[in-house]
């Protein structure tokens, strides 16, 4: 019969060095599948907000449709229906929804 206490004493406490490659692999997978795509999307969104101009039809992230009438560094004035105007932050303009609106037209 095998003595169980001898087997337990032979196992390294805390997992030894075998867990480090596993931990590094998990961190690499997390970076590739979670952080990297978010960084790419943020870069595309920043480029999109810099590329919009006066006269472009846009959709905000809250779903408001409008046409840009004035642009500042951080804000935009959009014209809604019936000559109503609204001042919004440029970061509130949704890249995905605005591009889908352009594709429809």
Q: What are the tens digits of pLDDT across the range 21-62?
A: 888 999 999 999 999 999 999 999 999 998 999 999 999 999
Q: From CA 70, how far away is CA 78, in angstroms rounded?
A: 7
Does pLDDT of 5 surpass 90?
A: no
In the chain, domain spans: 25-104
In eight-state DSSP terms, residue 74 is S
pLDDT of residue 7: 53
Q: How confident is the model at residue 12 (pLDDT cuts 50, 70, 90)?
A: low
More confident residue, 10 or 21: 21
- CA 62, 72, 54, 43 dihedral sign is negative
Averaged confidence pLDDT in the chain? 86
Q: What is the pLDDT of residues 52-99, one digit of tens each?
A: 999 999 999 999 999 999 999 999 999 998 889 999 999 999 998 988
pLDDT at 17 over 70: no
DSSP label of 93: B
Taking residues 2-12, what's their average pLDDT?
Answer: 58
Architecture of domain 25-104: Roll (2.30)
pLDDT of residue 103: 86
């Amino acid at each position: 019969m095998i003595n169980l206490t001898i087997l337990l004493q032979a196992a390294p406490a805390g997992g030894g060095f075998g867990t480090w490659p596993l931990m590094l692999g998990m961190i690499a997978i997390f970076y590739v599948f979670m952080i990297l795509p978010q960084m790419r999307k943020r870069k595309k969104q920043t480029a999109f907000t810099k590329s919009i101009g006066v006269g472009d039809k846009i959709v905000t992230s809250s779903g408001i449709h409008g046409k840009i009438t004035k642009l500042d560094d951080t804000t935009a004035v959009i014209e809604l229906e019936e000559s109503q105007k609204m001042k919004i932050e440029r970061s509130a303009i949704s890249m995905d929804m605005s591009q889908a609106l352009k594709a429809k037209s």
